[in-house]
Amino acid sequence: MSDKDETVLSNEHTPLFANESGPIKEVHAFWLAGMSCDGCSIAAVGAKNPSVEQLIHQQIPGLPKIILHHPVLAVEAGHRFMEPYYKAVRGELGATYVVLYEGSVADEDIAKETGGYFSAMGAQFLTDEDGELLGDGSWRPYPTADMLKELAPGAAAVIAVGTCAAWGGVPAAIGNVTNAMGVMDFLGKDFRSALGLPVVNVPGCSPIGDNITETITAVLMFLAGVGPLPEFDELGRPAWMFNETVHRGCPRAGFYEEGTFAEEYGQQECLVELGCWGPVVQCNIARRGSLGHNGGCMNVGGICIGCTMPGFPDAFAPFYKAPPGKFISGTASRIVGSFIRPLRQISQRKGNMTNRWLKTESIPSGWGHVEAPGVVMKTIHYFYKKIQTSGSPFHPSGTKQQQKLQLKSRAVMAAGVKRSEERAMETAKAEELL
């Protein structure tokens, strides 16, 4: 790791804002779209924790006010909308800004060879004296890749939103003709933002909206000097979101462990045999849900196709075909599960009985017949309980000390009852004598 890296990845790195100008109050957020479907924008505006509204209305204590410039959400259009972008490119904005890039970055040199462009916004002549007037009288559009190159070095942070921006995604799949790539590839290994951060990556196709807004919040709080450096993994992903596999948080993981698998969609069991890659994919959607803690892939019956991963889509294609590894891990789960499942059913039966039902051997449910445990089951439960309590001071009828205390308290209570009865008798006798 170079000295530069150590400076960046240490919590001792104090943002310049905090050192020189005091905490920042306002941050411009420039949203740029490369080769994207706008799905990441839709995911971001659906975020709830925090929501875009909370961010732009400064409703989070300590968070600077965010002035969002977004081509789809903006009220302004045309030159009025583009002017802040141009100012930032010219270095005339006079304010702190971050860049949020959605979609992959196409190789615009390829498009320029034929006089075209892949992804553009605004007109280049406003920042480039060599701007080109086209045959129809309009100015050559400003490729967002070029704008990214201009804006990134002056940005407090560059955040790649979604898998296309982070790793290249679908536009960079094998066979693509645009030489599309992620922001990190485009800016290079040595890129650092004005405040020393490499590119931050929030992958997902589309990412969870809350993952986007939470990352923006965490980064801005750090840059404003009011929060610690968020933990990122070696690929610049927020570590607290992407450290674990989706499988570990999947509501169907218990079925996998017991070796029971869905054979068709709509069944409740583990989906690995239908093509789920969850056991190896780093994603938090099963825990966090897709929108407002609802939905999200296997929560609603869908398999994982690895959309957060750098290898997506090629590494996980063909979709809907079981991953090769499932033959080993799935078979092992089946074998282990065939022992574990019946044992669990036995202890589950015990957990479904009250002490009273065990004693009376009758379960008075009006909803259906529940068989009382027979001799075999009772014997199993007896030994099970022995093992359960061995080595522990706990005993169903109390520890020795508890039993002693109980005897003592019973004796005290009995003496108290006796004494109060005697007093009642004495009172009654005294009243008779009167």
Contacts of 354 (CB under 8 A, 6+ apart): none
Q: What residues between 101 and 160 interact with ligand SF4 by CB under 6 A?
A: none
Say which amino acid occupies 259.
Answer: G
The residue among 180, 305, 167, 285 whose CA lies nearest residue 235 is: 167
- Give me the least distance between CB of 329 and ligand SF4, in Å please: 9
Distances (CA, A) of 320 to 202, 296, 313: 25, 17, 12
Calculate the alpha carbon distances from 5 to 2, 271, 368 in Å. Answer: 5, 41, 67
Omega before 203 within 30 of 0, i.e. cis: no
Residue nearest to ligand SF4 (CB): 278
Q: Report which residue type is found at 197.
A: L
Nearest distance from residue 68's CB to ligand SF4, in Å?
A: 25
Q: Which residue's CB is nearer to ligand SF4, number 104 or number 124?
A: 104
Closest CB 173 distance from ligand SF4, rounded Å:
15
Least spacing, CB of residue 341 vs ligand SF4, in Å: 16
The pair of three-digit structure tokens given for residue 416, joined into one six-digit string: 């108290």
Select 231 or 244, whichever has its Cβ closest to ligand SF4: 244
Contact 253, 270 (CB under 8 A): yes
Q: How far is the CB of 280 from ligand SF4 (least distance, A)?
A: 9
The one-character DSSP state at 371 is P
**Contact flag: residue 88 with ligand SF4 (CB under 6 A):** no
Enumerate residues 261-320 that contact ligand SF4 by CB under 6 A.
270-272, 276, 278-279, 281, 283, 285, 297-298, 304-308
Is the Cα dihedral 12, 18, 20, 26 positive or negative? positive
User: CB-wise, 32 or 262, nearer to ligand SF4?
Assistant: 262
Q: How far apart are CA 167 and CA 242, in angstroms?
A: 15
CB 287 within 8 A of CB 364: no
**With binding defined as CB under 6 A, does residue 43 bind ligand SF4?**
no
DSSP per residue over 12-23, as a string?
Answer: T---HIIIII-S
Q: Does 253 bind ligand SF4 (CB under 6 A)?
A: yes
What are phi and psi for residue 35, nearest 5 degrees?
A: -85, 85
Tokens read off for 89: 């490119």
Q: How far is the CB of 51 from ligand SF4 (least distance, A)?
A: 20
Total chain residues near ligand SF4 (CB under 6 A): 23
Minimum Å distance from CB 404 to ligand SF4?
50
Residues 222-251 that bind ligand SF4 (CB under 6 A): 246-247, 250
Give the per-residue contact string, 336-355, with ligand SF4 (x = CB under 6 A; - = no): --------------------
Residue 172 one-letter amino acid: A
Interface ranges with ligand SF4 (CB under 6 A):
204, 246-247, 250, 252-253, 256, 270-272, 276, 278-279, 281, 283, 285, 297-298, 304-308
